[in-house]
Amino acid sequence: GYSMRGFDRARRVFVSTWAASLSTSLTVSEGSFDPQRNVYSFRGRMTDPSTGRERPTRSELRILTPDKHTFQY
């Protein structure tokens, strides 16, 4: 899959997109950054490819070093 993140200045939230290689849908999430923990937290919705129904999503991107990040979905 492929992910892109950015900051929406008009709405003042971080935005994340995810395009999975096994699905034709796009997951869009919004979130915030916690500078104390160095973590971006996102919540969104996706279409489950097996059922066709929407379901909630939650993910975290933790910045360990400038070159090392962990992603939990």
Q: Which two tokens stand for residue 61?
A: 């991107």
Strand-strand pairing, 26-34 and 13-19: antiparallel
Name residue 68's amino acid. Answer: K
Spell out the per-residue pLDDT of the chain, length 73, in tens.
888 999 999 999 999 998 888 777 889 999 999 999 999 999 999 888 888 899 999 999 999 999 999 999 8
What is the structure's pLDDT at 28?
92
Residue 37's pLDDT is what?
Answer: 97
Q: Give one word for 52, left, alpha or beta, with left for phi > 0 and alpha for psi -120 to 50.
A: left
Q: How far apart, in whole angstroms, are the C-alpha atoms of residue 21 and residue 27?
A: 12
What is the value of pTM for the model shown? 0.84
**CB-CB contact of 26 with 13 (8 Å):** no
Per-residue model confidence (pLDDT) at position 11: 95
